[in-house]
Copies of this chain bind each other. A is one copy, B any other.
Amino acid sequence: MNPDESHLARAVELARAGSQRGDGGPFGAVIVGADGKVIAEGWNRVVVDHDPSAHAEIVAIRAACAALQVFHLSGVTLYASSEPCPMCLAAACWARIPRLVYANSRTEAAAIGFCDDELYDQLRPDCGQRNIILEHRPLAGSLEPMQAWADDPGRTAY
């Protein structure tokens, strides 16, 4: 196995072990630094943690950021047992992860009930039938904290 395959195989093993324990769905992830060393691992913990955001990739991103005390993971590769859902792909973007490698496709995940295509559709600005009601209610003064942040030279951008 080359390093990519070896890290992917580890992500799949985390998926197997975590889901067998009942922690959550069958998904695993590994984050590897530019030097080839593993920074963090994660697996789906939605059920055991009562956390709908605890997908394997986000669990690994949180662990890697905690280990390095950063909120950007430039230079790493995120290995995932399956193609990321839009929440995890967006989290990887926020974390500035430059490369993501996955083994199972979203079509294969859909075959066991994880319909990411539907969720990707929900996020299209022109989505016709949203499952969630989105209401825009402008509020007097609501822009003030945003402007104060923008005007603060000491702010930390992320």
By size class, the interface of chain A is: 35 or more
Decide if A102 touches B136 in the complex (CB within 8 Å): yes
Give Cα A71 to B25, complex, Å. 13
Give Cα A9 to B138, complex, Å. 10
Interface flags, A122-158, vs B, CB<8A=1, else 0? 1111000001111111110111111111100011111
Shortest Cβ distance from A4 into chain B, in angstroms?
Answer: 6
* Set B5, B16, B71, B134: member contacting A148, Cβ < 8 A: B16
Give Cα A94 to B54, complex, Å. 10
Contacts A16-B144, A132-B89, A149-B112: A52 and B104 contacting too (C-beta < 8 A)? no
Rank and list the top 3 A-B pairs by shortest CB-CB distance, nearest first: A87-B90, A16-B145, A103-B142
- What are 8 A-B pairs at a CB distance below 8 A? A16-B145, A20-B145, A50-B71, A51-B62, A52-B61, A53-B95, A93-B132, A103-B137
